[in-house]
Structure 1
């Protein structure tokens, strides 16, 4: 492949050039947006790595130029900063992938491998971004799993199909829904309905509205949430708690793109996008008859899974910094640092309540802090006797090799030693996985 690297870090460019040329690729590199756009305009590059922040401009401008080129090829955005807005914008501009610094060579090689597989299709079909401006709320994180969520938001913002957001309580499902709304329909209403907090007998009227005289106490017409949302978004939080009979009415409204208010006969068009979220296992509910299968499949046209915090512990420092800034301002306290032991304490805890619980713990810890630095005692006292395991900062630490060996072995067991599925789960190539199996002397069970 012919690859272009645009980054102001000369050492990084040289390192990538050495590794990629060793694999047989032709590589050019440059350090400014202007030079990068000039080189790309010469044509023929199959893949371009673009740094977000360049000395003379933004990597997003380079992406725009690549998108509009006669032979655009594929582009991968790389950055060393936390910027959800830029991630979404990069995906909307057609970025093939998004990689965080410091660069993991394995991630780079995987991107190149995927690009090679997609090369022909990418050259024949360009992604056209939406033109709407957007100001999404910040989803904080740099882990691969949360970056994937942000990338999905960018992709799904290019249409208005129903979306189902799955994840445990406290993971930030509504935050994802709002980010999707802001990327798709900025300035339009975002109407949230908590299906578990509204009395079932009143939920129908809340959704569809009612006409005067529809029932006792209905002394005036009422506009429902679906109509009030207009061309914005209706967010059904905890859709799994909706009564089955109301599920049928919601399904009809989604299918027909219209509905009638309670007691009325006039059809009202449904113009809003439908986004739903749940912490429940909806597939099991469908099997037991507690949730309509046809509604589940209609809502689940596209699904976003928000990972629990224990699966992205590397994001805890970023989240902590973000939360501390907000909490310190709200409580009028000047707490801006976290002791190393306190941070290890935070990262060792399993967080059954996820980001919401982290926010609560940090709020209490800030109140307990006597200086501008959170100490281990502040955090440990705030976690207290919570049910999740707290290994503590002094827990024995495995070597990196042993930890990786155990992780690979556990992933293989979870897929029944299916190499292809395990490689996808670990986000590495099957070739890399086979090498790790050999290096770690892992053996499949006798019955495999």
Structure 2
């Protein structure tokens, strides 16, 4: 369970000038001083929480708390119940409070709201529709109810149509809707993002940010980025760490789970080419699902045992278990114990 209250800073800024990003930046300026709830849609790793923090930082709730909640593990009691003092990480509690109380006067960010159980959806809807009952005792100094910003990587309209998500809750959350594009649709922003992540990583290590050779930038622009901006940040961090006292080269990049080959001779043999493609494709899909092998096998349309066999045949690691990222399907009944993990 992740419930945190942390400040937003000017460093939490949106990087890029692609038309879709410029449109989001313009929309944020228009909605900043309005009270409407916001639904942010987009694939995993596109920066939905960054968008939410930006709305908070430039809007009417900037002086209040920003409370981020991971909906993957949210329960009815955590939504509507009274939490004892000290039970919310990062929050200053002096009395029993519930989730909306904790974010009063600020922003309540519901991360991956599409993963809420039907029961939690009902409890959240009641809390939203009866905010007065969930506020601090009435007084002239009581803060206003929080603005709710929810994120999802699911098509909630489709989920409403299938009965998996409450229609009335959907309309309560989607007064204002923002859609964050995947990185593959805004590749013109990659050089700026690379420089931004390189500078930040280098500053943390106390050394100058390295330059990136054009071949390295070209390789990153060609990449499909199934993990989106989160994957790009990870690739840049690794490259900066190992490229000391020289520019980052294409061979310093690890894209799709494997190091990029240097320019040189290649095999024209079709079988070798197909094997190389299969290896790169499986590595990319594996990375895009946070190294969750059950989800990867499902996406590839093969059985879990077949995936393990291919990982062994292609020389890909079968022992690496990374924390699962946001946006996994709400139901994992078929997952094996070895593939479970806390969401990040």
TM-score, normalised to structure 2, is 0.64
* SS state at 1:258 partner: helix
After superposition, the C-alpha distances for 1:268-317 in whole angstroms (9 at most, x for unaligned) are 98611111001111112112221101100111111000111000000000
User: Which whole-Å CA distance do the structure 2 matches of 1:269 and 1:339 have between them?
Assistant: 52
1:367 Cα deviation from its structure 2 partner: 2.1
Tell me, yes or no, if the aligned pair for 1:335 and 1:373 is still in contact at 8 Å.
no
Give runs of aligned pairs for residues 142-221 of structure 1, distance below 5 A.
142-184=17-59, 185-198=61-74, 200=75, 202-204=77-79, 208-210=81-83
Give 2:106's match in structure 1, choosing from 219, 228, 232.
232
1:135 Cα deviation from its structure 2 partner: 5.0
After superposition, the C-alpha distances for 1:132-161 in whole angstroms (9 at most, x for unaligned) are xx9573100011110101111101112010
1:201 Cα deviation from its structure 2 partner: 5.4
Q: Does 1:305 align with 2:171?
A: no
Aligned residues: 244
Higher RCO structure, 1 or 2 (CA under 8 Å, sep 6+): 2
Q: Does 1:359 align with 2:256?
A: no
Give runs of aligned pairs for residues 282-297 of structure 1, distance below 5 A.
282-297=156-171
Q: Which runs of 5+ in 1 are unaligned?
A: 1-133, 213-219, 389-448
Tell me, yes or no, if the aligned pair for 1:136 and 1:178 is still in contact at 8 Å.
no
Moved more, 243-252 or 312-321: 243-252
Q: 1:329 to 1:197 in 2, by over 3 A?
A: farther
User: Which whole-Å CA distance do the structure 2 matches of 1:382 and 1:257 have between them?
Assistant: 46
Q: Does 1:346 align with 2:243?
A: no
Give 1:274's match in structure 2, choosing from 132, 140, 148.
148
Tell me, yes or no, if the aligned pair for 1:157 and 1:183 is still in contact at 8 Å.
yes
User: Which whole-Å CA distance do the structure 1 matches of 2:107 and 2:181 have between them?
Assistant: 23
Q: Which runs of 5+ in 2 are unaligned?
A: 1-8, 86-93, 259-279, 286-344
Q: 1:363 to 1:211 in 2, by over 3 A?
A: closer
User: Which whole-Å CA distance do the structure 1 matches of 2:115 and 2:150 have between them?
Assistant: 11
Q: 1:382 to 1:325 in 2, by over 3 A?
A: farther
Tell me, yes or no, if the aligned pair for 1:240 and 1:282 is still in contact at 8 Å.
yes
Tell me, yes or no, if the aligned pair for 2:223 and 2:255 is still in contact at 8 Å.
no
**Residue equivalent to 2:128:** 254
Q: Which protein is richer in strand relative to its size?
A: 1
Structure (1 or 2) with the larger CA radius of gyration: 1
**Residue equivalent to 1:78:** none
Q: 1:260 to 1:230 in 2, by over 3 A?
A: closer
**Pairwise CA RMSD of aligned residues?**
2.9
**Residue equivalent to 1:4:** none
* SS state at 1:161 partner: coil
1:163 Cα deviation from its structure 2 partner: 0.6
